[in-house]
Each structure stands twice: as structure tokens, then as C-alpha cells.
Amino acid sequence: MVPAKVSTFLWQLQLDRVATKAGLLSRGFSLPDEGVCGLCVAELESSSHLFLYCKVIWQMWCEVIKREGNCWVMPQSVKDLLLLWPELKVKSDGVLWDMTPFALCWSVWVKRNDMVFNDKGFSAEAVWDMHIARITGWVKAWWHHCPYSASQFVMGIQHISMPKNKKGKSIADGDLAWFIGMVDDSSIWRI
């Protein structure tokens, strides 16, 4: 269900192969802002910082976890997040839950690039709305007769249920399972 370019992006992200400012500095590039995160303007923009620890993004992860009735300690890396994610007990449908890190990380990256390359402002609310809109779009593209409206996704994604087979298993289960295998075996992948 998740587009290939988004899956590829998360694969690169968990390998720390996304061109963050810290990565560019380590390759010898000079940056006018010295690599400082443009969202919080407080820390060096590394993958872990931009996608997990930046106070703006951290609040979004906390909101996702709170929506599910959970509390947690933020993992150390994106790779650890992706390995931990399927183990968390949640209220949301498992398939929608599995899509959340893809949608949130991709939305952060798109909005961050818009800020860096197009001089646009960064809005946490826009990123939040984009991540819900992406999940909605991915589901509706896969499930052509989806009975849920976009506003139902926005109002409470944890109340959306994907279609189930006769055994009660989501018929979309497994679409993202291959990705977790890539995270586990990431040492064999090199870019």
C-alpha cells in the first residue's frame, strides 16, 4: 500500500543514508546555517534529530502514541523505531498503524525540503495533516470501495478498520511485513 518511493526512503533513512545537513557536513559541504535544524534551530540536523528528537517532531510522535493510549521512551534511532513499532499494542487497525511511520517520516521530509529549497515556512500542523492525508490516500488507492471518508480518517484514524478475511485477519496484512525484514537484515544492503 505504501508507495515504493516512500518505502525506499524509509529504508535509506534507517540506514542513515538520507541527505540531512549533518550528512552533508560530514561529506565536506559547507552550509550557511552550519547544519542547524531549521525546525527547532537548536541542534545539528541529523537523521535521528530530524525524524525523532527535534522537539517539533517529537511532539507529533507523542501525539500518535497518546492517541493509542500508550506511553513510551523514544527509540535511539529510526531503525530502532521501525523494529519496535510492530510490537506496540495499539487501538488502531494494524495495517494503518504500520503505515504511520512511513507517512509521518515522509511528510516531515517533504515539508522540510519545501522549507530548505523553496523558502517555505514549516508548520507542524501541516505535517500532521499531511501524514493523515497520506494514509487516507494510500488506503483509498488500495481499497477502491473504502466506506470511510477523509474526514473520518482525520477525526479518528484509530476507529478505521481495514477489511478482514474469514479468519479475522486483515487482507492487507503482509504488505509492509517485507520492509521489517529489510530493517532486520539491513547489514546486507548498501547504497
Give the residue extent of every domain in the chain: 4-17+75-188
Name the pTM for this structure. 0.86
Low-confidence ranges of the chain (pLDDT < 70): 165-191
Bridge partner residues of 44 (DSSP): 36
pLDDT of 186: 43
Identify the pLDDT of residue 15: 94
pLDDT given at position 171: 61
Determine the pLDDT at residue 164: 73
Helix H segments across the chain? 4-14, 21-26, 47-48, 55-67, 78-84, 94-118, 124-142, 150-156, 177-184
Please state whether 35 falls in left (phi above 0), alpha (psi between -120 and 50) or beta. Answer: left
What pLDDT does 156 receive? 87
Grid coordinates representing 134 are: 497520506
pLDDT of 191: 30
